[in-house]
Structure 1
């Protein structure tokens, strides 16, 4: 009789504990669910977070309901089943959370079972928690998650504390277990240690080999793309310099008497701009578009269609020959002109990518000096706008795998990247570069990894020109652009 009463008291105590545990979990997990769903940014959580928290809260509420109805054992089983399933799915949603999830799941499951279930049932739950912990660790090691969460010092400390608490619970109750249970727990514990050690070693070895292989591939793609882009830009400048040495152009400029009166030049510039605004063509424009050397520029533009606008100024910055109507007449106030004229000494100029209003294209401005027949004095400046689509094929080839891409990071914090438009066409666009990638590029290492938009991203970078002849001003101008060709694999 006394034994029956004792068992009844234990059952009543377990039922009361079940009510308290399920009620507390219901309230806490409901609050956590609301906070996770409505206040945590999308990039700081996974899909499982949005599902797991409400499910655990609902199962705790259901467990509380069953406990009130006198069926607390069933309610606890439902709660523990939901916690176990959610924990098993969590490492599939995010990397670097498996170890913490395994320990937390085992700790919570064992603690709840020991306080609310009969001894035999709590023993089965403890064994089941061990098994689920092994599965979670194996999933973490061999199945990549949908997103990547970096391992922080705080997470390591929390995991260590939870592990100590969990082991403390096991050792505290160890003497109360039957011999068979002790043997099972010891066997499973040794299995966890051995399996985890072997799996960890294999995972690290495979990860190291894969990282080295990807490193070589991305570095090769970045270097190849950088060299190809550098050669392409150098070739376009060389074409322009060949045009600048044309004898007909030189003769035309040498035969001219350039106007040095700035006030008169500015007046002509105003007339030019007014005609552009009114969409008219005045006599000044016709004299620039239709003269004895216009055909030379038009033929060059026809042979090299990436040069969408080509024109020549005299030594005072006034337009003298052009293939198209430029936005203004006076050019000496422009940076490209001043750099190319270089106080009469001449120099190669290449701009950063700009949207050219005259040609409605994303382009580079390139300018070179025109020297007289003796190559002694600068007699004019030749300018072109080069459509940046010339590098689109190079960036398209720089796509390692389905998730790889090659982009160009500019020194002003922008990037050139390819976009797939709705009509299926691939367009080259310029936009602000992500700050986290900019920061990691400052390390100036050829290969790195980082977390970007919640995913692990492998990054390789290369300078535009790796071998520069300092006496070749064209290659120096390309190098001075400061572009970083970046290949990324996510």
Structure 2
């Protein structure tokens, strides 16, 4: 690790400690993360690959009951623990997941994960396997899709044990470019150590 990277990491640690102590009420990286969202992510949120996948899944999941959603989430969690399974394999094999994997790979480590949710908060596509299938009970979905087409929610900086990085999730509503209506949401894990 270079001295500059070391000092930057120390700054991130100090920021996280400040969050933990309650000294900071907002994410100190919010303006940089907002910049990444507007300049890098927004342009591809209207890509037909994203829009078509979300709309297709919305049509597929519209009639699901709470019990059916719970069963799918339980199945996903078991498959995630096992390393794979038919539900996870179906999502990862989709065009949207391939698209998101390419976006993550092209970010040079800035994106730690990228996943898209439908109108119920269910996974549509992802760069990496999430721990659960149902995101609709979490802030990443509740503070975006139901709020409206322009909603953005930037979460606090946290240390991610699996990646060994400090990251913050930026979450945004996905809107149908033809109608302007909210159809889903996206979450991007941002490695704050990679921010300029």
TM-score range relative to shorter protein: 0.7 to 0.9
- How many aligned residue pairs are there? 164
Compute the displacement of 1:294 (Å): 2.0
Question: For residues 360 and 320 of structure 1, do their structure 2 counterparts lie closer, same or farther at Cα, with a shift above 3 Å needed?
Answer: farther
Equivalences for residues 75-90 of structure 1 within 5 A: none
Q: Using structure 1 for the length normalisation, give the TM-score.
A: 0.32
Distance 1:373 1:297 in 2: 19
Larger radius of gyration: 1
| Equivalent residues of 2:118, 2:185 under 8 A apart | yes
Matched, 1:249 2:53: no
Compute the displacement of 1:244 (Å): 1.3
Select which of 275, 282, 292 maps to 2:85: 282
Q: Using structure 2 for the length normalisation, give the TM-score.
A: 0.75
Matched, 1:302 2:105: yes
- Structure 1 match to 2:26: none
Equivalences for residues 164-313 of structure 1 within 5 A: 232-238=32-38, 239-256=40-57, 257-259=59-61, 260-278=64-82, 280-304=83-107, 305-313=109-117
Question: For residues 384 and 359 of structure 1, do their structure 2 counterparts lie closer, same or farther at Cα, with a shift above 3 Å needed?
Answer: farther
Distance 1:378 1:306 in 2: 26
Unpaired runs of at least 5, structure 1: 1-228, 395-490
**CA deviation string 1:35-71 (max 9, x = no partner):** xxxxxxxxxxxxxxxxxxxxxxxxxxxxxxxxxxxxx
Question: For residues 241 and 268 of structure 1, do their structure 2 counterparts lie closer, same or farther at Cα, with a shift above 3 Å needed?
Answer: same
Compute the displacement of 1:377 (Å): 1.2
Unpaired runs of at least 5, structure 2: 1-28
| Equivalent residues of 2:149, 2:174 under 8 A apart | no
**CA deviation string 1:91-133 (max 9, x = no partner):** xxxxxxxxxxxxxxxxxxxxxxxxxxxxxxxxxxxxxxxxxxx
**CA deviation string 1:333-353 (max 9, x = no partner):** 101210011344550110111
Q: Report 1 or 2 for greater relative contact order, CA contacts < 8 Å, sequence distance ≥ 6.
A: 2
Determine which structure has the larger helix proportion and give its number.
1
Distance 1:357 1:338 in 2: 25
Q: C-alpha root-mean-square deviation of aligned residues, in Å?
A: 2.2
